[in-house]
């Protein structure tokens, strides 16, 4: 468990993240840079009257400065998330605006709560990603910058590596879809080239040496599903690119290979069938569409 940052450590962290010198921060607050130095070295504390201006300069809420970021009534927060998920299950034919609104209202009550931020990012990205079915351009353009803001908060303050990488991933997707390619590349550079060492892989490794082979098998099954979904997702992206290049013959070949992989790993006690390909549409329908196209040429 990470230690809670002091207010001085938080000020220093926020200042450096925003590429501000002590002198530049002091100028914005109309104080001396020596005062900033004392805060960061913990030989002095900001006056209460300076807390709101500090938060304003950094673009955060005051709870971030006081180290209470995300510490709230968990029971109520989980209820908000459950209600949002219930809305999604009711309206699962398209991205659910009502779930997004529930989470936004929750964030008004519990600013910067990490559970709400992570869930809001998922709903918001579904609504603002331009290639999703049912995409509404007006709504998407409105939600997109808010998603980027939420992702930035998760990246800066989450203690969960998976959530941070997911936030980078969604940022890449949304910036790319909305034409901000330079920003997309900046976040893409945060990813490792190799993704062998997953949580499931490490957990299976530990369980093996604990001689807990039941757990080792469980984690290994999850790791297999994760790796298969990653592989199939890459293959579906490849086929999608071929379709846009008007190389339907190549696309059809890749789709068929994805189907063969799925058939190699049926749903049973050993494996869970990967589901990521469903994000791109029903695989059989994609294959049938291309087969019809080839037969008509």
Arithmetic mean of pLDDT, 163-190? 92
pLDDT interval class at 1 (50, 70, 90) = very low
Q: What is the pLDDT of residue 3?
A: 47
What pLDDT score does 275 carry? 62
Between 5 and 24, name the one with better pLDDT.
Answer: 24
Q: What contacts 282, CB < 8 A, 6 or more positions away?
A: none
Rounded mean pLDDT, 274-285 = 62
What string of DSSP letters covers 16-37? Answer: HHTT--HHHHHHHHTS-HHHHH
pLDDT band with cut points at 50, 70 and 90 for residue 2:
very low
**In this structure, how many other beta carbons lie within 10 angstroms of the beta carbon of residue 82?**
11
What is the per-residue pLDDT for 90?
A: 58
From 56, 55, 49, 80, select the one nearest 68 (Cα to Cα): 55
Hey, which of 28-37, 139-148, 211-220, 263-272 has the most confident mean pLDDT? 139-148
Average pLDDT rounded to a whole number, residues 143-162: 90
Split at pLDDT 50, 70, 90, the class of 173 is: very high
Q: What pLDDT, on the 0 to 100 scale, is given for residue 294?
A: 62
Q: Give the Å distances, CA to CA, from 27 to 30, 33, 35.
A: 5, 8, 11
In DSSP notation, 39-56 reads: HHHTSS---GGGHHHHHH
Each residue of 222-279: pLDDT tens digit?
A: 888 888 888 888 898 899 899 999 999 999 999 999 888 888 877 778 877 666 555 4
Residues 6+ apart with CB under 8 A from 246: none
Proportion of the chain above pLDDT 70, given as a percent: 87
Q: What is the pLDDT of residue 274?
A: 64
Average pLDDT over all residues of the chain = 83
Please state, as a whole number, how many other Cβ atoms lie within 10 Å of the Cβ of residue 47.
9
Mean pLDDT across the stretch 61-82? Answer: 72
Q: Among the listed ranges 132-146, 163-177, 220-234, which one has the minimum average pLDDT value?
A: 220-234
Mean pLDDT of 25-44: 89
pLDDT at position 216 over 70? yes
Per-residue confidence band for 131, with pLDDT thresholds at 50, 70 and 90: confident
In this predicted model, which residue has the larger pLDDT, 288 or 62? 288
Residue-level pLDDT at 180: 93
**Better pLDDT: 223 or 294:** 223
């Amino acid at each position: 468990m990470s230690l809670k940052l002091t207010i001085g450590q938080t000020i220093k962290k926020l200042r450096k993240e925003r590429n501000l010198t002590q002198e530049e921060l002091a100028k914005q607050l109309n104080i001396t840079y020596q005062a900033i130095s004392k805060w960061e070295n913990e030989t002095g504390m900001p006056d209460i009257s300076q807390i709101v201006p500090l938060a304003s300069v950094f673009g955060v809420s005051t709870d971030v400065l006081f180290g209470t970021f995300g510490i709230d009534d968990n029971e109520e927060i989980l209820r908000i998330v459950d209600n949002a998920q219930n809305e999604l299950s009711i309206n699962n034919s398209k991205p659910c605006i009502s779930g997004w609104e529930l989470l936004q209202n929750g964030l008004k009550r519990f600013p910067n709560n990490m559970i709400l931020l992570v869930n809001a990012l998922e709903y918001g990205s579904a609504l603002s990603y331009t290639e999703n079915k049912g995409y509404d351009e007006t709504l998407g353009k409105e939600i997109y910058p808010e998603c980027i803001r939420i992702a930035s908060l998760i990246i800066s303050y989450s203690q969960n590596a998976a959530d941070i990488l997911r936030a980078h991933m969604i940022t890449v997707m949304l910036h790319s879809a909305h034409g901000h390619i330079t920003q997309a590349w900046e976040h893409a550079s945060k990813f490792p080239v190799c993704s062998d060492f997953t949580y499931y892989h490490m957990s299976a490794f530990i369980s093996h040496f604990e001689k807990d082979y039941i757990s080792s098998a469980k984690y290994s099954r999850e790791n297999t599903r994760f790796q298969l979904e990653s592989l199939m997702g890459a293959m579906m992206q490849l086929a999608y690119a071929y379709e846009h290049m008007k190389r339907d013959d190549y696309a059809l070949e890749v789709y068929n290979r994805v189907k063969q992989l799925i058939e190699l790993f049926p749903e049973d006690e050993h494996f869970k069938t990967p589901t990521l390909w469903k994000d791109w549409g029903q695989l059989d329908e994609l294959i049938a569409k291309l087969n019809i196209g080839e037969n008509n040429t």
